[in-house]
Structure 1
């Protein structure tokens, strides 16, 4: 069984808020290094999740099924008495990580812990609109070619055969998980949602972004940031680092 410290090894209990963040397909905690640094000194700590099959959990088998990932998370949280979620916190996900964050918010709202103050979805379709990307079935070269086109991984790294070999297992597993996702209707979240998209994202329109409203009674805010499908550009990160603390402190004072 995995542990809370395995999932979230970089916690900061001295902050006013912790934002538990789930990265895009194939990525690890380093994907959030810019946002983590940008939030320093705001009272909000970015706590990136380390999922199986990457970084210090490299030898673990990455999940290829959402139900299995959620069962692993819930078992971990129950064993820990939901201790990580008794304070003031939010959830954030980038691309496919936002789908994981949404499903984890559902778990936490029905569990003996505090509800999240906010769910932040960056560059992700609402769960009712998730469609098969076809990425999970692509040959290796085409998989990485299309991944490079999103701007999420530096070309220099993708030119390194050793890096490609290491990344392919979690990357492909994440796309299998995402493409196999089946939305199950349930009670709406009470947690408010902040949903973002790039102004020229070909995979997520402004109208589609607003469909996140169907998932919460807590209200939806939307914003455009980043470039294309990639939210965590330098400018996008800087804007998020202002928006997240403002939303969290305003919500706590409401």
Structure 2
């Protein structure tokens, strides 16, 4: 979903969203009792509504919960968190409350890193590992680059958004929208660009890596390197497209999720 589509969902989501007594967790549609539970984590600059189409398509057969980071949409007045460890610490305390059944994590871009760190915190707390981590459009935690997008001026950040092709040019040219979006983007880029995994960091969850074949931020080798960060199986699935391949390949991505979860529920269009 593009930034423009996210904004369109902001107004509609209120009546359909179960806040679950938490500022951090969103449920857009109810699920059947005992359904497998998928928790989704947004990308840098993203918000919970990015996953609205995923929730619509997968429920009621899968219980889709989405993490809402501070500083965006209805949490826009809350302070932003500019580092992954603190963000993971706080989100973990919320996510762990839904571990009454096996959990599956899906994170796109920065969200994959946050999901990985939360999975590590499950182990540290003596909780069962997530049943699977779907790591989308993100290189392995041990693979770092000298990216400094967060130190650029506004035009520099906008150039990066254009390079990733995830934001409508009409949004990028809207001064009011960008005035609100740029601080969040710069904050999140700082969080993910300064993140360094602990040496040898691993989780006990199987990992499914999803990546676009022309993603400028993740090579196939960097995607495969996730295998070094799990004691379980790791498979890599490649889709046609760039960093936001999942927007155009939604049906294929949903199929990968349901296969990884083992859910038999049909996917709604």
- Structure 1 stretches of 4+ with a deviation exceeding 6 A read none
Superposed CA deviations along residues 118-163 of structure 1, whole A, max 9, x for unmatched, are: 1011110100002232110110022012212312122222221111
Contact 1:189 1:216 in 2 (8 A): yes
Secondary structure in 2 matching 1:229: coil
Query: Partner residue of 1:5?
Result: 22
Q: How is 1:98-137 mapped onto 2 (pairs within 5 angstroms)?
A: 98-137=112-151
Q: TM-score, normalised by structure 2?
A: 0.83
Instruction: Identify the match of residue 18 of structure 1 among 37, 45, 49.
Output: 37
Instruction: Identify the match of residue 85 of structure 2 among 67, 76, 97.
Output: 67
Instruction: Report the aligned-residue RMSD.
Output: 2.0
Pair 1:30 & 2:49 matched: yes
Superposed CA deviations along residues 159-189 of structure 1, whole A, max 9, x for unmatched, are: 2111101111211110111111121135621
Secondary structure in 2 matching 1:131: coil
Structure 1 unmatched runs, 5+: none
Superposed CA deviations along residues 64-123 of structure 1, whole A, max 9, x for unmatched, are: 11222123224445xxxx321221221111111111111011111232543211101111
- Give the stretch that moved more between structures: 67-76 or 168-177: 67-76
- CA distance in structure 2 between the partners assigned to 1:69 and 1:50 by the alignment: 11
- Give the stretch that moved more between structures: 151-160 or 6-15: 6-15
Instruction: Identify the match of residue 242 of structure 1 among 216, 235, 255.
Output: 255
Q: How is 1:74-89 mapped onto 2 (pairs within 5 angstroms)?
A: 74-76=92-94, 82-89=96-103
Paired residue total: 242
Contact 2:25 2:94 in 1 (8 A): no
Contact 1:196 1:224 in 2 (8 A): yes
Pair 1:222 & 2:240 matched: no
Rate the CA distance shift 1:113–1:134 in 2: closer, same or farther, 3 A: same
- CA distance in structure 1 between the partners assigned to 2:55 and 2:238 by the alignment: 20
Structure 2 unmatched runs, 5+: 1-19, 264-269
Instruction: Identify the match of residue 184 of structure 1 among 198, 222, 227.
Output: 198
- CA distance in structure 2 between the partners assigned to 1:119 and 1:127 by the alignment: 13
Query: Partner residue of 1:57?
Result: 75
| Deviation, structure 1 residue 27 | 0.7
Rate the CA distance shift 1:74–1:46 in 2: closer, same or farther, 3 A: closer
Q: TM-score, normalised by structure 1?
A: 0.87
Rate the CA distance shift 1:54–1:209 in 2: closer, same or farther, 3 A: same
